[in-house]
Amino acid sequence: MTPPPHVPQSTRPLRIGIAGLGTVGSGVVRLLDENAALIARRAGRAIEVTAVAARDATRDRGINLGAVRWHRDAVALANDPDVDAVVEVIGGADGVALELAQASLAAGKPFVTANKAMIAAHGMALAARAEAADIALKFEAAVAGGIPVIKALREGASANRIERVYGILNGTCNFILTAMESRALSFDAALAEAQALGYAEADPGFDIDGVDASHKLAILAAICFSARTDVAGVTVEGIRAISAEDIKEADALGYRIRLIAMAEMQNGALLQYVRPCLVAAEHPLGYVPGCLNAVVAEGNFVGRLFLEGAGAGDGPTASAVVADIIDVARDEYGPAFTMAVGALDALPRADVGHVVGKSYIRLHVADRTGVLAEIAIAMRDAGVSVESLIQRGGTGGEALIVLVTHASDAAAVDGALDTLAQGDALVAPPLRLPILAL
Ligand code: HSE
């Protein structure tokens, strides 16, 4: 007899195999152990770790692994007869993680992952396999760590047309920018602190160059717009060029600098970018402190949703991974990206170069007669109207000029800056940051 839908198909324990026992994997084991009774009640059945795969079986991780089976080869978890569902927290778009995902789905085993790079790159193919086998593919922890954003948008907001989703998707960058802001740290000192605290990826370039956020954005956009992931369509710029001076000038103008990940529908095309932007100091994103993440989604019936929480760390990430495992235990799943892969839209890319809005421009100029006129002429010739201009300094023959433009086509402003860069007015490359109207 088919059980009623609110009862899991089986009440015997769900046996899971975990690939990767780093910070997140150990956190998953600890959470499943500490909250075992509560989780069993909520899932309707116990969840047991029966196998793990990690390179070093001797390392003390401070967790109780009891009598679990150890595999050196993670892919072996897929075919372990004592594993019903596989959890992957190794990371990396390809390699072992992808092999394990493919092998698990081929073996008919639900697959839970925290792997943003893999889902951004291969999410469509994996979702198609999961769909064909009618099993779960879950990746809550891949976007914004502990914030249940996939669940909120895929399920809670699924009745809405979402026009725009944006936010702070990289905790390391937010930590750096807010530390520069509140404690006047240099970029390098703030990065070193983020690394010491364990927020940064093994390669910090993934964080500070915006790559990590672009993976998360591509996944979010696919969920929000029921579209195929297009990570190559995300225009990415990191935060290396942001100086303490920019943070101070933005503050004086009433703004905060944040690494913003933005996905927006524009006349049927998808605009996706990750780049440092100015947001009004009073916007909720201006208040997101330290390594937290935040996501804003605008739905046509629900209005503006704002979700904030820890985007990294063993506890928050384990919370998201285990929520997915509980869904698997309850047999609660559906199409990974809101609808069957074949029904997802392949959206054309909107042209990020022609986004219209205000810009913040920082120039280091030679402090000589005529420089202001040259700047004004370059702006005029490009059809860019200046809203405000501040000049500071003038010591050592150089001055700092900060301009705010009226809403203009980004390409026009960049054109004016290219013209200036070809002359001898500038003594350093110019910086333009969009000012977001949110
Ligand atoms: N390195 C990431 C961040 C953490 O700083 O947000 C997990 O995605």
Architecture per CATH, 149-311: 2-Layer Sandwich (3.30)
State whether the beta carbon of 316 lies less than 6 angstroms from ligand 1: no
Atom of ligand 1 nearest to the CA of 144: 8
> In 3-state terms, what secondary structure has residue 397?
helix
CATH code of 353-435, in short, is 3.30.70.260
State whether the beta carbon of 167 lies less than 6 angstroms from ligand 1: no
Predicted local distance difference test score (pLDDT) of residue 4: 46
Predicted local distance difference test score (pLDDT) of residue 9: 58
Percent of the chain whose pLDDT exceeds 90: 88
**Domain coordinates in residue numbering, the chain:** 14-142, 149-311, 353-435
Predicted local distance difference test score (pLDDT) of residue 424: 93
State whether the beta carbon of 312 lies less than 6 angstroms from ligand 1: yes
Predicted local distance difference test score (pLDDT) of residue 203: 82
Nearest-CA residue for ligand 1 atom 7 is 312
Atom of ligand 1 nearest to the CA of 293: 6
How many Å lie between the centroid of ligand 1 and the Cα of residue 425? 39
How many Å lie between the centroid of ligand 1 and the Cα of residue 169? 8
Report the DSSP pairing between strands 111-113 and 137-138.
Answer: parallel
Predicted local distance difference test score (pLDDT) of residue 10: 72
State whether the beta carbon of 209 lies less than 6 angstroms from ligand 1: no
User: What confidence tens digit (pLDDT) does each residue in 91-126 have?
Assistant: 999 999 999 999 999 999 999 999 999 999 999 999
Q: How far is 171 from 415, CA to CA, in rounded Å?
A: 33
State whether the beta carbon of 200 lies less than 6 angstroms from ligand 1: yes
Q: How far is 50 from 118, CA to CA, in rounded Å?
A: 25
**Residues in the chain where the model's pLDDT stays below 50:** 1-7
Q: How far is 66 from 372, CA to CA, in rounded Å?
A: 72
> In 3-state terms, what secondary structure has residue 288?
coil
CATH code of 14-142, in short, is 3.40.50.720
User: What confidence tens digit (pLDDT) does each residue in 323-362 have?
Assistant: 999 999 999 999 999 999 999 999 999 999 889 999 999 9
Concerning whether 248 is annotated as a catalytic residue, the answer is no
- Beta-carbon contacts of residue 241 (< 8 Å; ≥ 6 apart): 276, 431
State whether the beta carbon of 178 lies less than 6 angstroms from ligand 1: no
State whether the beta carbon of 210 lies less than 6 angstroms from ligand 1: no
Predicted local distance difference test score (pLDDT) of residue 198: 78
Atom of ligand 1 nearest to the CA of 194: 5
Question: Out of 109, 116, 138, 216, which one is annotated catalytic?
Answer: 216
Q: Are 77 and 19 in contact (CB under 8 A)?
A: yes
Hey, which of 23, 172, 211 would you mutate to test ligand 1's pocket, going by the most ligand atoms within 8 Å of its Cβ? 172
User: What confidence tens digit (pLDDT) does each residue in 248-273 have?
Assistant: 999 999 999 999 999 999 999 999 99
DSSP E strands: which ranges in 42-151?
Answer: 47-53, 69-71, 85-88, 111-113, 137-138
Asked, colleague to colleague, whether 14-142 and 353-435 share their fold, the answer is no
